[in-house]
Amino acid sequence: MGMKDLLRSILIEPGAKCRLSEYDPEDISLCSSKEAAQEDIAKDITRLAKLQEMLYAEDRRSVLIILQAMDAGGKDGTIKHVMSGLNPQGCEVTSFKVPSAEEADHDFLWRIHKAVPRRGNIGIFNRSHYEDVLVVRVHNLVPREVWKERYDQINRFEKLLSEMSVVILKFFLHISKEEQRKRFQERLKDPSKNWKFSELDLKERELWEDYQAAYEDALSKCSTEWAPWYVIPANHKWYRNWSVARTIVDTLESLKLSFPVARTDLSKIQIK
Ligand code: ADP
């Protein structure tokens, strides 16, 4: 299966209305088997390491990868697997939690802007400014008039970043409500996963439909040419990792990265 088929199945076309019911979280249709996926992933992890090195050496652009999902959607697992080949020196992961008092005293993009990867680096956001139109909207943490404006504000902010050579990719890891139930159940059963269980997550689960609606709006209003949203079928972890890795590698390859050429004639230099 080619990259075009994958993109067609996961990309939200800018301006298109996203209906999550049209995206099957169980989908595994573009990869022949789990084994084939694992082979591809291994290759992509190696490629990603090479591409990161060139991005770092070039020192002109940066890459921002945004991960959003319902609880137990697999953000942590995606970071752990897909980014496993990256050089920590050129890579930063930022997890966004409930805003601190200082963060809450600023505009909602303040803490986000500070975490944008520097030139040459890859930045990964585990949650992001999208929380400000998701949890904030679902729980009415600010009035409707305030969050309603944020879609446009986000688009303009991301446009500014892209004009400053930040390449942005946004992934929504799409799981079904039943899959979330299974994963929560697993957290209860497996002692090594107990720490991940939180009763608060069960409260959020009751708001599943509200969250899906909020996600649909965010994905519809904020998928742009300069910062596209991808809906990743995420019930199967191997397919999720495969799709995310394929998309990141394909995007980085399209940047036509290369190692900078020496400005002077190195052949004349002698090291004594
Ligand atoms: P995670 O679930 O990402 O592993 P946590 O369990 O610490 O990490 O959850 C972080 C919490 O912070 C989530 O409940 C999320 O909704 C919340 N959060 C993140 N950003 C905001 C925000 N801007 N406003 C309110 N809550 C937020």
**In angstroms, what is the span from residue 96 Cα to ligand 1's centroid?**
6
- Cα–Cα distance between 98 and 100 in angstroms, integer? 6
Backbone angles phi, psi at 126, to 5 degrees: -95, 100
The model's pLDDT over 143-159, given as tens digits with 9 standing for 90+, comes to: 999 999 999 999 999 99
User: Is pLDDT at 214 greater than 80 in this prediction?
Assistant: yes
- Greatest Cα-to-Cα distance within the chain, rounded to the nearest angstrom: 71
Task: Report which residue type is found at 31.
Answer: C
Question: Residues 266, 270, 272, CA angle at the centre, nearest 5°?
Answer: 150
Q: Identify the residue whose C-alpha is closest to ligand 1 atom 6.
A: 97
Contact criterion met (CB below 8 Å) for 130 and 68: yes
The chain-wide mean pLDDT, for the chain, equals 97
**In angstroms, what is the span from residue 5 Cα to ligand 1's centroid?**
33
- Cα–Cα distance between 142 and 266 in angstroms, integer? 60
**In angstroms, what is the span from residue 138 Cα to ligand 1's centroid?**
13
Contact criterion met (CB below 8 Å) for 58 and 257: yes
Q: What is the DSSP string of 188-218?
A: HH-TTTGGG--HHHHHHHTTHHHHHHHHHHH
What average pLDDT does this structure show over 168-189?
A: 98
User: Is pLDDT at 160 greater than 90 in this prediction?
Assistant: yes
Q: Identify the residue whose C-alpha is closest to ligand 1 atom 25.
A: 98
The model's pLDDT over 197-208, given as tens digits with 9 standing for 90+, comes to: 999 999 999 999
Which tokens is 248 given? Answer: 């990141």
The model's pLDDT over 219-272, given as tens digits with 9 standing for 90+, comes to: 999 999 999 999 999 999 999 999 999 999 999 999 999 999 988 899 999 999
Query: Strand locations in 70-209, DSSP E?
Result: 91-95, 122-126, 166-174
Task: Output the pLDDT for position 238.
Answer: 98
The domains located in the chain, with CATH, are 3-257 (3.40.50.300)
Which tokens is 142 given? Answer: 């600010």
Closest approach atom of ligand 1 to CA 204: 14
Beta-carbon count within 10 A of 111 CB: 17
**In angstroms, what is the span from residue 208 Cα to ligand 1's centroid?**
16
Q: Provide residues with CB under 6 Å of ligand 1.
A: 71, 95-99, 126-127, 131-132, 135-136
Task: Output the pLDDT for position 2.
Answer: 87
Closest approach atom of ligand 1 to CA 132: 23
The model's pLDDT over 102-153, given as tens digits with 9 standing for 90+, comes to: 999 999 999 999 999 999 999 999 999 999 999 999 999 999 999 999 999 9
**In angstroms, what is the span from residue 189 Cα to ligand 1's centroid?**
24
What percentage of the chain carries pLDDT values higher than 90? 98
Question: Considering just the CA atoms, what is the radius of gyration of the chain in Å?
Answer: 20
Task: Output the pLDDT for position 263.
Answer: 87
User: Is pLDDT at 1 greater than 70 in this prediction?
Assistant: no
Closest approach atom of ligand 1 to CA 129: 23
Task: Report which residue type is found at 164.
Answer: M
The model's pLDDT over 242-251, given as tens digits with 9 standing for 90+, comes to: 999 999 999 9
Contact criterion met (CB below 8 Å) for 170 and 133: no
**In angstroms, what is the span from residue 98 Cα to ligand 1's centroid?**
5
What average pLDDT does this structure show over 38-50?
A: 97
Q: Identify the residue whose C-alpha is closest to ligand 1 atom 5.
A: 97
Closest approach atom of ligand 1 to CA 201: 14
User: Is pLDDT at 35 greater than 90 in this prediction?
Assistant: yes
**In angstroms, what is the span from residue 209 Cα to ligand 1's centroid?**
18
State in Å, rounded, how far the first CA of the chain is from the last one.
54
Around 95, how many Cα atoms within 13 Å sit in the side-chain half-sphere? Answer: 5
Of 70, 78, 97, the one to substitute when testing ligand 1's pocket (max ligand atoms within 8 A of C-beta) is 97
- Cα–Cα distance between 210 and 135 in angstroms, integer? 10
Task: Output the pLDDT for position 166.
Answer: 98
Of 66, 102, 127, the one to substitute when testing ligand 1's pocket (max ligand atoms within 8 A of C-beta) is 127
Q: Measured between alpha carbons, how far is residue 211 from residues 24, 75, 76, 179 in Å?
A: 17, 17, 20, 16
